[in-house]
């Protein structure tokens, strides 16, 4: 211990040759970490306030400070938000929306990725006539404001009898997930060496064989990325859920908004925050668990396009 | 295209064509068909149900004479330009800071990006609560002894857009950071070494060397953020509901309300067609830049 102190003192006096060691508390580091920490507070504040508020009783919220930690921790708001808070005529809490969201998200993620991965594969490897035009329409379609298409889709869904049903919403999610996912898969498959594809063709492998035997196993990481992207996107959707489902089929986001922004009754802020957290838990855990894959997905999908 | 030099018949690549059917249907029926349908019916007098009762441009004349629509447009322009600039600046700043070989890089990145995983509804509701004057920041500062402190952006028509902006930035800047960081990491170490040797200060390297090299990343980010801004709807619904008064109305909400609340379908069609026109003005130059000049690559 004493030895190191002496040595560092010695080093700071003598201007030895070689690169100067960068001290931990250099001005540069203080500025960088200072700015980062201040910005981190902006990002962390809301989730902290949410957690703290959801664990307080209403009397404590009325007299206290939203940033103060709870004096008496109570889980009653969580229980109420999950199982007994009312939206319209239904008083079975957010659990209903949770189940609906699950029933919407799982098939939507599956179908949209299944379709889009085949699309991306067909577009990048097979380049049939009209492929480029089709892909261009698809990508431009991603930029058409949803508002332009929502009503005719209502008419279409009504025609095929799926308006208001969960399956209708699944179809809508599959359709609107197609551009971005197709782009993701097309970019991935375009980076696959062409020799691989040609070799498989020479060996007599067809469209399906190449997809299932070569491309699918190779593209597993990008499938994981797609699952992460789609699950969060569909779980978080509000607009389509609000338009294409009946109240008893509302996904969690729509139900949550109806609970918190309802004008009737006394506002129970702790229940509201517990409900908000509950509907954020699924995408948040996906994000925290998937970590770098989530990041890689965003970067791969956007930068290479 | 070039390696398929052989003349291609109808049955060439048949399986690929069959597999592309869902894509064809989506592109033609939904993206083209539904868009055309809406444009066509914006020239009718449809109210509760779509009817082929042609009235020419009357709906558009009425739309541009509607105060609420004009306010919506103005709000979107203010919010959009601020959001675009600030999210690019904040996103780039975050990325540049994280790129300084810092400790806890993963930790910081996780913190800056997590709001992006949450829905706009959650975002709007949380910030509605934090900005609530009765309990939120205003109340906290007042209880510290500043009795006259007022901070109620969501209840002040002049400030409400900035209240939404705080939430929008919180949600979206992490994405920009991610894209920028990928761009920064894609830049060759040699560039940095060369500018170091030449004694160019770091900030100058960023502005005159690195940022111009990141042009494709900036274009992509710009397009992504802009298309997100035009879709702005959920956040407004959750955070302000368009209020106070009409102070935070946006075009997407105007369309939704005309179609599904006030049973004024054709107004909704006309308004959404205007949104499409606005988007077209953004896409065409971008598509031209991205795809038009790509013949060699």
pLDDT at position A274, please?
93
Q: Write the secondary structure of chain B as one string of H (helix), E (strand) and C (coil).
A: CCCCCCCCCCCCCHHHHHHCHHHHHHHHHHHHHHHHHHHHHCCECCCCCCCCCECCCHHHHHHCCCHHHHHHHHHHHHHHHHHHHHHHHHHHHHHHHHCCCCCCHHHHHHHHHHHHHCCHHHHHHHHHHHCCCCCCHHHHHHHCCCCCCCCCHHHCCCCHHHHHHHHHHHHHHHHHHHHHHHHHHCCCHHHHHHHHHCCCCHHHHHHHHHHHHCHHHHHHHHHHHHHHHHCCCHHHHHHCCCCCCCCCCCHHHHHHHHHHCCCCHHHHHHHHHHHHHHHHHHHHHHHHHHHHHHCCC
Contacts of A155 (CB under 8 A, 6+ apart): B37, B50
Answer yes or no: are the C-beta atoms of A112 and A103 closer than 8 Å: no
Ordered alpha helix ranges (H), A55-205: 58-63, 76-83, 95-121, 131-143, 146-159, 166-190, 194-202
- Local structure of residue A67 (DSSP, 8 states): T
Query: Using one digit for the tens of pLDDT, what is the confidence trace for A70-80?
Result: 888 889 889 98
Class of domain A101-251+280-303: mainly alpha
pLDDT at B271 over 90: yes
* Containing structural domain, residue B66: 58-294
Residues B15 and B106 in one domain: no
The reply to whether residue B119 touches residue A66, judged by beta carbons under 8 angstroms, is no
Of B23, B94, B129, the CB nearest to A269: B129
Average pLDDT over residues A44-59: 91
pLDDT digits (tens, 9 = 90+) for B21-56: 888 899 999 999 999 999 999 999 888 888 888 888
Identify any residues that bridge with A245 across adjacent strands, giving them in sequence order. Answer: A164
> Are residues B232 and B137 part of one domain?
yes
- Claim to verify: residue B36 and residue B161 sit in the same structural domain: no
Q: If you average pLDDT over residues A156-175, what whole number do you get?
A: 93
Give, to the nearest 10 degrees, the angle between helix A252-260 and helix A269-290. Answer: 150
Q: Kindly give, in sequence order, each residue whose CB lies less than 8 Å from that of residue A1, ignoring residues fewer than 6 positions away.
A: none
A183-197, A286-300, B128-142, B173-187: range with lowest mean pLDDT: A286-300
Cβ of residue A75 closer than 8 Å to a chain B Cβ: no
On whether any CB of chain B is under 8 Å from the CB of A205, the answer is no
Beta bridge partners of residue A90, listed in sequence order = A87
Q: How far is the C-alpha of B189 from the C-alpha of B168, rounded, in Å?
A: 34
Asked if residue B50 belongs to a domain, the reply is no
* Nearest-CB residue to A66 (from B135, B220, B233): B135
Contacts A243 to B, Cβ<8 Å: 256, 260
Residues 6 or more apart whose CB falls under 8 angstroms from that of A89 comprise A247
- Which residues does chain A have within 8 Å of residue B119's beta carbon, measured at their own beta carbons? 235-238, 253, 279-280, 283
Chain B residues within 8 A of A292 when measuring between CB atoms: 106
Residues B236, B142 share a domain: yes
Give the closest-approach CA distance of A3 to chain B in angstroms: 27
Predicted confidence band at B4 (pLDDT cuts at 50, 70, 90)?
very low
Q: How many helices (H) and strands (E) does chain A have?
A: 16, 0
Q: What CATH number does the domain containing B247 carry?
A: 1.10.3720.10
Count of domains forming chain B = 2
**What confidence category does residue B61 fall into, taking pLDDT thresholds of 50, 70 and 90?**
very high
CB pair distance less than 8 Å for B129 and A149: no
Confidence band, pLDDT 50/70/90 cuts, at residue A39: very high
Tokens of B66: 């509607």
| pLDDT surpassing 70 at residue B153 | yes
Q: Identify all chain B residues contacting A260, using CB atoms and an 8 Å cutoff.
A: 125, 128, 238
Region B264-275: what's the mean pLDDT? 93
Residues B277 and B177 in one domain: yes
Please report how many Cα atoms fall inside a 13 Å half-sphere around the Cα of residue A191, on the Cβ side: 12
The verdict on B66 and B27 lying in the same domain is no
Mean pLDDT over each residue of chain A, to the nearest integer:
84
What average pLDDT does this structure show over B241-256? 91
Q: If you measure CA to CA, which chain A residue comes closest to B20?
A: A119
Of B31, B265, B286, which to mutate for an interface test with A (greatest number of A Cβ within 10 Å)?
B31
Tell me the two tokens of residue A304. 């290479």
Q: How far is A142 from chain B (nearest CA, A)?
A: 9
* Residues of A in Cβ contact (< 8 Å) with B120: 236, 238
Contact B27/A137, CB-based, under 8 Å? yes
Average pLDDT of every residue of chain B: 86
Burial class (CB in 10 A: 0-12, 13-18, 19+), A92: middle
Per CB-CB distance under 8 Å, the chain B contacts of A131 are 20
Question: Which of A148, A233, A257 should one mutate to test binding to chain B, selecting the residue with the greatest count of B CBs within 10 A?
Answer: A148
- Same domain flag for B255 and B130: yes
Residue B15 or A271, more confident: A271
pLDDT over 60 at B214, yes or no: yes
Q: Is A30 on the interface with B (CB under 8 A)?
A: no
Residues B2 and B132 in one domain: no
Q: Do B20 and A119 touch (CB under 8 A)?
A: yes
Query: In chain A, which residues have their Cβ closer than 8 Å to the Cβ of B259?
Result: 150-151
B98 and B148 fall within a common domain: yes
The closest CB to that of B118, out of A118, A148, A280, belongs to: A280
Do B194 and B102 sit in the same domain of this protein? Answer: yes
Under 8 Å between Cβ of A108 and A177: yes
Short-list A282, A216, A227, CA closest to A109: A227
Asked if residue B49 belongs to a domain, the reply is no
Q: pLDDT by residue (tens digit) across A214-224?
A: 888 888 888 98
Q: Tell me: the pLDDT tens digits for B106-121?
A: 889 999 999 999 999 9
**Same domain membership, residue B198 and residue B137:** yes
Report how far residue B181's alpha carbon sits from residue A302's, in angstroms, rounded to the nearest whole number. Answer: 12
Name the residue with higher pLDDT: A107 or A16: A107
Q: Is A129 on the interface with B (CB under 8 A)?
A: yes
- pLDDT score recorded for residue A21: 60
Please check whether residues B131 and B172 belong to one and the same domain: yes
pLDDT of residue B259: 92
Decide: A140 and B287 in contact? Cβ < 8 Å.
yes
CB of A49 within 8 Å of a chain B CB? The answer is yes
CB B138 within 8 A of CB B152: yes
Banded model confidence at residue B297, pLDDT cuts 50, 70, 90: very low
Measure the CA–CA gap between A100 and A98, rounded to whole angstroms.
5
């Amino acid at each position: 211990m004493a030895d190191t102190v002496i040595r560092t003192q010695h080093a700071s006096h003598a201007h030895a040759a070689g690169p100067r060691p960068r001290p931990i508390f250099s001005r540069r580091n203080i500025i960088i970490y200072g700015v980062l920490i201040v910005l981190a507070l902006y990002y962390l504040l809301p989730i902290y306030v949410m957690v703290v508020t959801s664990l307080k009783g209403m009397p404590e919220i009325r007299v206290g400070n939203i940033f103060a930690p709870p004096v008496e921790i109570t889980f009653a708001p969580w229980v109420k938000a999950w199982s007994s808070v009312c939206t319209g005529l239904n008083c079975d809490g957010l659990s209903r929306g949770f189940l609906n969201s699950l029933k919407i998200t799982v098939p939507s993620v599956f179908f949209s990725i299944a379709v889009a991965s085949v699309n991306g594969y067909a577009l990048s490897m097979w380049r049939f006539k009209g492929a480029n035009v089709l892909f261009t329409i698809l990508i431009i379609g991603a930029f058409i404001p949803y508002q332009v298409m929502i009503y005719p889709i209502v008419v279409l869904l009504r025609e095929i009898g799926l308006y208001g049903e969960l399956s209708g919403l699944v179809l809508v999610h599959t359709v609107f997930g197609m551009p971005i996912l197709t782009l993701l898969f097309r970019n991935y498959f375009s980076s696959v060496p062409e020799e691989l594809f040609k070799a498989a063709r020479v060996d007599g492998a067809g469209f399906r064989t190449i997809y299932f035997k070569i491309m699918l196993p190779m593209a597993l990481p990008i499938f994981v990325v797609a699952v992460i992207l789609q699950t969060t996107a569909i779980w978080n959707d509000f607009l389509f859920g609000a338009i294409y489902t009946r109240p008893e089929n509302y996904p969690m986001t729509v139900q949550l908004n109806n609970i918190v922004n309802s004008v009737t009754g006394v506002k129970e802020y702790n229940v509201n925050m517990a409900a908000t957290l509950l509907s954020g838990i699924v995408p948040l855990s996906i994000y925290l668990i998937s970590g770098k894959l989530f990041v890689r997905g965003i970067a791969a999908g956007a930068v290479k396009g | 295209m070039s390696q398929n030099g052989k003349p291609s018949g109808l049955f060439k690549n048949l399986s690929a064509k069959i597999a592309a059917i869902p894509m064809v249907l989506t592109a033609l029926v939904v993206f083209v068909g539904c868009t055309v349908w809406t444009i066509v019916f914006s020239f009718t007098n449809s109210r509760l149900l779509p009817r082929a009762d042609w009235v020419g441009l009357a709906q558009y004349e009425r739309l541009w004479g509607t105060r609420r629509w004009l306010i919506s447009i103005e709000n979107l322009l203010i919010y959009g330009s601020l959001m675009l600039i600030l999210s690019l600046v904040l996103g780039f700043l975050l990325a540049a800071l994280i790129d300084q070989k810092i400790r806890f890089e993963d930790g910081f990145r996780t913190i800056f990006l997590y709001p992006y995983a949450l829905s706009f509804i959650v975002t709007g509701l949380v910030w509605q609560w934090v900005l609530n004057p009765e309990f939120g920041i205003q109340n906290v500062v007042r209880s510290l002894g500043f009795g006259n402190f007022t901070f109620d952006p969501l209840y002040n028509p002049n400030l409400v857009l900035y209240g939404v902006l705080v939430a929008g930035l919180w949600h979206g800047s992490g994405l920009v950071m991610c894209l920028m960081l990928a761009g920064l990491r894609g830049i060759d170490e040699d560039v940095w070494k060369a500018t170091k040797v030449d004694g160019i200060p770091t900030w100058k390297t960023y502005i005159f060397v690195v940022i111009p090299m990141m042009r494709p990343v900036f274009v992509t980010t710009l397009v992504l953020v802009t298309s997100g801004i035009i879709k702005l709807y959920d956040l407004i619904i959750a955070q302000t509901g368009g209020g106070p008064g009409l102070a935070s109305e946006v075009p997407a909400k105007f369309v939704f309300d005309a179609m599904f609340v006030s049973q004024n379908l054709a107004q909704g069609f006309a308004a959404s067609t205007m949104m499409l026109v606005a988007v077209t003005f953004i896409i065409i130059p971008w598509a031209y830049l991205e795809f038009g000049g790509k013949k060699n690559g």
